[in-house]
Each structure stands twice: as structure tokens, then as C-alpha cells.
Structure 1
Amino acid sequence: MPGVPEGYEPHAKALGKLLRSARGRRRQRDIEQAVGVSDSSLSRFERGQSIPDIEIAAKLDEVLRLDGKVSEQVRAILFPAGTVPIPVGRRLIVAVFPPDYLGAVYVHLRTAAGQRAAVVQVTLIWGDWWCRHTLMLDATGVALQFAKVEAAKRSVPLRVQTSHPVAATYGLDMPAELPDQRIIDANDGWALRSQEIPRAHDER
């Protein structure tokens, strides 16, 4: 089972409290057998000493009838969204999404601190696929939303290359505070990296 990432100990403790409360008077061993984990695994989860992986989290949700709460907290610990500055001309890993996650993901791009609004060319590279967008970015920014449609045995990093300094935030689903007019459906326009990159969206 994954260890607790540095700085996320309070989150692991909160997850453990949730599991203890949901288990109630049932024996840890009974829950472990129902979920299919080894002896003492649940004890470590409840004490915040380790984190269940995504598959085990889903089983805990089912057995403890927690309606996805365990999976949500585990994703927040193991795959946290983060703000990553992307300098000009460099290709950096922006996001590593859970390998078995299927659903909406996003990359929220905005001008870097101290920068004026500008037209920015953005290239997304995800495994064998890539696409290009030309966006007018300001301090509020624009979110590119698309779907992760295939499960995999390992995570494939999403990389971003930009023509101007920007800040990027990534995650699952979509931040609620972003207005709809700032969200772009980026599911179309992807091509294999062996092909010329299409210009999927041009917003000026």
C-alpha cells in the first residue's frame, strides 16, 4: 500500500477517522476479508500510517457504504492538484492522473504572476497524443477540459509547452469557481505524435 506523502499526514489521519467511524463495531478483520487486504492493513489505514490504493479505496467505499468518500480522499492525497509554473520553451510534467481513473480532467492555464494578458500558444502532449491551442490568457485564465477514457497499469504524464510564461493548475473534474465561459471542451483536435499537430482551438 502507498505510504503517506510528506505534508499529507493530517489528510491521512482524517481518512483514518472516517474509516473508523464507518466501521463502527465491526471487526477490522471482517472488513479486511471483505475488501481483500492483508491482516492489519485496515489498522494502518485507520491510524493514518498508510494509504489504500485507488482500487482498495473503491472496495472500502462499497463495503463501508461511504458513497465514494474514501476514493475522493485517497485521490486528494495521492494525486493532488497543484500549481506549476511553466517557463517559456520548456516541456514540463503538469499532471499525473490516477492510472485507473476514467472521467473528466482539466488543465487551468493563466498568466504567470506579474505578466500581462497575452495570446499564448499551448501544446498538450499526453502519451502518443498531442494537440495545440491558441488562447487569450489573463489572470483568471482558461481551463481546457477533456476526458481520460482509458485505464492503464501505470500513469502517463501530461506535458504542457507554452509560448509565454504561464501558471497551470490541474486536477480531476473541474473547479467550481471557474465560470462556464472560461471552460473549453478540449476533447477534439488530438492527433498521434507521428502526425502534424492540429490547431484545435483558436481564441483571440
Structure 2
Amino acid sequence: MRLPSTAHTSRPWRIHEIARDFRVEDVWALPTPGGPDDLPYLVGQFTDGEGPGKAGSSLVYRALFAIRSQLGRLLRLDDADGGVGARVPSLRDRLPADLLAAPRGPDSDSLPFRSVYLLPDEWAAELANRTVHAVLHLGWVPDGTGGYRGQMAVLVKPNGLLGAAYMLGIKPFRYVAVYPALLRSIGRRWEETAGQRR
């Protein structure tokens, strides 16, 4: 379920002090009911190589993922010189000492994001290309019924006019196809792996 930006901005996440110059693009409640210590399982689901774009995902999602990948190669949007550490410095360069000392968290084998930090209730990962510097933020929040669930936010800093036009152009696809398929995939895998969390 899509949430208002305030569902992210009103929480005391550490990402707020790190990514002040990013805007909140999307916030979603994830279909991942669990206990207070289950965030590592959700992070693992995003980083274990079986995540979005892989065989367990919907055909629509995999097709859009493949099209975006091909367009990125064709238009050179994802070249190494447009990424983190080249076009933009990593958000890790902004971390205060306590976050630098915290676990970095796993990098994703299934998404082009690289981990910035991992805490008991939040994980942040980043990517950059010629269009945008983006943050994928997963938080673990009370669900109002005594349990907990994941909450996903996407924060972006578009790269000039190209980035702004790109974000505007992909918006309909994100809401009509990408996010619905992604949320179904997340929920399905969460249910399939319930035994690992018990």
C-alpha cells in the first residue's frame, strides 16, 4: 500500500541526516508482517540474489527490468563513470562516526544498489547513474496491531534536466506495473520464507 511521504519523514530515521538534499519519491507499506527483530530477513530478501528481476518475480516486472537494463546500456545511462564514486560521492562519505562503525550491510546481488549502513530498524542502500542518485530505504515499523512490518522509501536526487525528465517519464510505469509487481513478489517470498523466521 502506498503511503504519504510523512510516513517516512515523521520517523526518526538516521537517513534524514545523511540525505537532506534528496527528496522522498515514494513510500510503501510492505506485506511483511513479523516480529521486532525481523528487518535482517527483509534486507536479505532484497540482497540475496533472488530478489526483484529474478525468476520468482512477475513476468511484467522482469520484462520492465530487462527493458530498463537494455535502454541503460544503449543510452549509456549506467556506465561506471556515471555511478557512485565517479559522478557522485557515496553517501558513506557523509556518515557520522557511529554509523561508520555500524555494520555496512550486504550489497544486493539482484539490484544495482550498494549498502550504505544497516541498523536494527533501518537499512539504506544507494545507486547512481547519469539520471539520478537514489536511496532505497527499508525501515521496520510497528504495524499498529502489536506486530511489525517493513516500510520502503525511495529517495532521489535527479541529475539536472535529464534526470528530472527521466523521473517524470518513468512515473506511470512505476505505479502501474513496477510497484504492484514488486509488492506482490515481496509478499510472496515473505510468506514462502516464514519458517526461517520462526
TM-score normalized by the length of structure 2: 0.22
**Larger RCO, structures 1/2 (Cα 8 Å, 6+ apart):** 2
Greater share of helix: 2
Larger Rg: 1
TM-score normalized by the length of structure 1: 0.21
